[in-house]
Amino acid sequence: MNAAPILEQITGSGIYTEISKRVHTRFTAERTAQEKIEERTGAMQLLTAARAAEIQQELAKEQQEEIRLNKAAEEKAAALAWLNRIKGLCDELVQIKEEQGKLEQEESIFADEAQRLKAAQQALVLEGDYAQLLAIRKQQKEESTAIEALQRRLPDQEGALGQAEERLNTTKTQLDQSRLTREQGHALIKQVRELDLRIREKNQAIIKEQAVCHDLQQKNAAEQKQVKQLEQNLTLAQAQQEQSRAYLEKHQVDEQLISDLAAIRKTLDRLKEVANRQADLCPALEKAEQQAVQAGQSWQEKVQACTAADKELTTIRQQRQEVQQEAEDQLDGRKLEELRRDQLPLAEQRNILGNLLEIHQKKDTIEQELTTHHTRQAELAATNKKQGEQLSLLQKQRDQARQDVDIRRTLVEQANRIRNLEEERTRLQDNTACPLCGSLDHPYAQGNVPPLHQYEKDLHAALTAEKQAEQNFNTAEIQAARLVQDAQNLGERIKEKQGAVQEAEERITEQCSAFVALAPGPENHLHGEKPSALTIRLSRLEEQLAENQQQLDILDQLDRKLARISKALEEQQAKANRAVQEQERATHAKEQAEQDQQRRIQEQQDAGQELKKIRTLALEELAVYGITELRLPALPQLLTDLTARKDLWLQQHKECNTAGERMTSLQSELRELRQAWPPEQHSWQTGNRA
């Protein structure tokens, strides 16, 4: 699709390209639709109304037969379960009888020991009563011994009681004397306490007087100490005032810093700013020079790139001309649309031949399967016949087993009745008529009792044989039903395969007609040809198609190559245009860098002149304070020193004023203290303390 403009350049016409596109699209859509229809029709099978009715009837019969077989299977399973349960019960009954016999034997063996155990249990009860009686007697004996001991200790306890009463009377006399002595001591203690209270009051009064005297002494000492301290502070304030006045007189020039320091700071900041700007202009100037050099180099590179792009553009144009010439040589005077138009019928013929071969293969496979099914049908018929004979034989065996079970069950019932009529049987005698039936034949009169255990054993064996015969018959019946079902299914599959063979023949006829329609001529009548001939014809068509397709692929490759070269030509043209634009921009950038370099040089010269003017002005302002040299790194320290000189002068001036005010205050306090304590009072206080 994307190569259409290139084909138009090769063939000189665009209508064939458009026709080729539409034919290819239509052929693809029709082929897809045909494949979908073939898939659907291949899976479909048309049935007549009679055949559909027969299938429904067969389905209904099979469903009924399936229901009947399921019911029969359930009944047989229930019967088998019942028989298994009966068998289990019989086995349990036999085990119980065996265990009962063993228990009776063990009871007869241990009868003597059981009697001895019973006697021992009785003796154990008597022994317990005797032991309880002995314990009671022992307890009574111990209590009698304890009573006798207490009686022997009674006189000693009475004598101790009399001694305790005497000690109690003595203690009462001593207690009365102690009470009298305590009352006399209470009166004396009361008098002593009153004297102690009076002494304590006198002592407190003395202590108060002493405290008052001590406070007066401390107050007097504190005031004297305060006077001395005030005199010392006054002396210190005078000395500090003299020192501050001397500093102020010596550094009278620093007083001008109060008003000139702001102007000096501004001048120095301006000097620093200009110096910093000059320092910043040096890297900018170097950078501008580097940019000018880089711009010159970039301009030379862009010129070289523009020349190389022009050369590459010429080379790509030559390559496009070579590819166009190769495409014309490959077509050899023909057009690409003709090749594509010849390719479509060949592809359809190849598809028809492939379908024919596929149908032939399917038909052969179906015929082989039909042969196999017919053989299997004959085998099933023979097997079904044998199965019928075997089923009849198994049915006879089952009926015989049932009769045998009935006979064994009758014998068991008869033996049970004979055992139940034991008393009547013992009264019968040979050659004497029975009082009930009058018979002279008494087969069991002389103790000839029928063996019931043997009859039960035979009955159990007969039941097992009946169960086995029933299982064999059911298994054979199920196998016979399966054989019938397999034969029916096989017949249906044979009919289906026969219909598939007929359908394959019809499709072969249709494909042959379609092939003749595409390629008229007697040599293209394919009906009746063998698959080997069709294979040879198909290989020839595929070779021709492959040859045409190879030529088309070569042309498509050339077409794609031409498209790539055209695209590369466009990209190279754009690249050449960009190279020219970049060369122009590089020229402009070079001129701009040279102008920037000149501007940076002029700014550097202006900054140097301004720095020289500001330095001269600053030296004139600082000459008053003894500063004759300025260094840019020392400007912050210089400002710090000037600020410190100004602050020191202000501090000394403040301290001088503060010392004067403090002297005045101290003199006033000293005067007040001396007025509050005249000399006479001082001497009186001193004598009082002495």
- DSSP conformation letters of 183-199: HHHHHHHHHHHHHHHHH
In a domain, 215, yes or no: yes
* Number of C-beta neighbours around residue 618 at 10 A: 19
Q: What is the pLDDT of residue 142?
A: 80
Q: Strand, helix or coil at 354?
A: helix
Tokens 């200009």, located at residue: 274
pLDDT band at 439 (very low <50, low <70, confident <90, very high): low
Those residues whose C-beta lies under 8 Å from the C-beta of residue 81, and which sit 6 or more positions away, are: none
CB–CB of 281/604 below 8 Å? Answer: yes
pLDDT tens sequence across 90-116 = 888 888 888 888 888 877 887 777 777
Residue (of 279, 277, 272) closest to 630 by Cα position: 272
Share of the chain above pLDDT 90, in %: 0
Distance between CA atoms of residues 589 and 288, nearest Å: 12
pLDDT tens sequence across 314-334 = 777 777 677 666 666 655 555
Q: Strand, helix or coil at 101?
A: helix
Distances (CA, A) of 373 to 59, 150, 387: 22, 126, 20
Distance between CA atoms of residues 463 and 88, nearest Å: 13
pLDDT band at 685 (very low <50, low <70, confident <90, very high): very low
Angle between helical axes of 531-622 and 4-11 (0-180°, round to 10): 110
Amino acid at 497: K
DSSP annotation string for 226-248: HHHHHHHHHHHHHHHHHHHHHHH
> Which contacts of 344-350 are long-range, i.e. CB under 8 A and separated by 24 or more positions?
344/23, 344/27, 345/518, 345/519, 346/541, 346/544, 346/545, 346/548, 347/545, 348/518, 349/515, 349/518, 349/519, 349/541, 350/538, 350/541, 350/542, 350/545
> Which pair of structure tokens corresponds to residue 31?
């082929």
Q: How many CA atoms lie within 13 A of 609 on its CB side?
A: 5
Residue-wise over 233-261: b if at least 16 C-beta within 10 A, else e? bbeebeebbeebeebbeeeeebeebeebb
Task: Assign 3-class secondary structure to 65-93.
Answer: HHHHHHHHHHHHHHHHHHHHHHHHHHHHH
Distance between CA atoms of residues 567 and 316, nearest Å: 10
Distance between CA atoms of residues 625 and 619, nearest Å: 10
> Which pair of structure tokens corresponds to residue 602?
């002029």
Q: What is the pLDDT of residue 344?
A: 66
Q: What is the pLDDT of residue 479?
A: 80
Tokens 């400007």, located at residue: 635
pLDDT band at 681 (very low <50, low <70, confident <90, very high): very low
> Which pair of structure tokens corresponds to residue 410?
């009758």
Q: Structural domain of residue 144, as residue ranges?
A: 115-150
In a domain, 464, yes or no: no
Which of the given ranges, 163-172, 474-483, 504-513, has the highest pLDDT on average?
A: 474-483
CB–CB of 324/9 below 8 Å? Answer: yes
Question: Nearest 5 degrees, angle CA 661-CA 663-CA 666?
Answer: 110
pLDDT tens sequence across 245-267 = 666 666 666 666 666 667 677 77
> Which pair of structure tokens corresponds to residue 569?
């030509």
Residue 45 has pLDDT above 80, yes or no: no
Say how many domains are in the chain: 2
Considering the entire predicted model, what is its pTM? 0.28
Residue 637 has pLDDT above 50, yes or no: yes
In a domain, 243, yes or no: yes
Residue (of 519, 655, 470) closest to 83 by Cα position: 470
pLDDT tens sequence across 378-437 = 887 888 788 788 888 888 888 888 888 888 888 777 667 666 665 565 666 666 766 555
In a domain, 178, yes or no: no
